C-alpha cells in the first residue's frame, strides 16, 4: 500500500511539474473563445449583411 501511495505521489508531482500540457489547454481555451466570438458575430450580423450587401449586388446586376 505504501508503494502505491509513493507511486501516486510521484505521478502527481510529475503531472504538476508538466507545464506544457497546461499551456496547450490554455491556448485551446483561447482559440475556442475566439471561435465562439466570431461565430456569434457572424450569426448576429448574417441577416443584416444579406439584406444590405447581397441585395445591393443583386439589384446592381439586374
Average pLDDT, whole number, for the chain?
A: 82
Say what the pLDDT of residue 31 is: 97
Query: All 3 cell numbers of residue 13?
Result: 508531482
- Of residues 6 and 30, more confidence is placed in 30
- C-alpha atoms less than 13 angstroms from C-alpha of 25 in its C-beta half-sphere: 5
Say what the pLDDT of residue 1 is: 52
**3-state DSSP assignment of residue 1:** coil
pTM above 0.75, yes or no: no
Tell me: pLDDT of 26 over 80: yes
Amino acid at each position: 500500500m505504501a508503494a502505491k501511495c509513493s507511486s501516486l505521489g510521484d505521478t502527481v508531482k510529475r503531472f504538476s511539474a508538466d507545464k506544457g500540457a497546461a499551456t496547450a489547454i490554455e491556448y485551446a481555451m483561447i482559440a475556442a473563445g475566439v471561435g465562439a466570438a466570431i461565430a456569434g458575430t457572424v450569426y448576429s450580423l448574417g441577416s443584416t449583411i444579406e439584406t444590405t450587401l447581397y441585395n445591393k449586388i443583386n439589384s446592381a446586376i439586374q
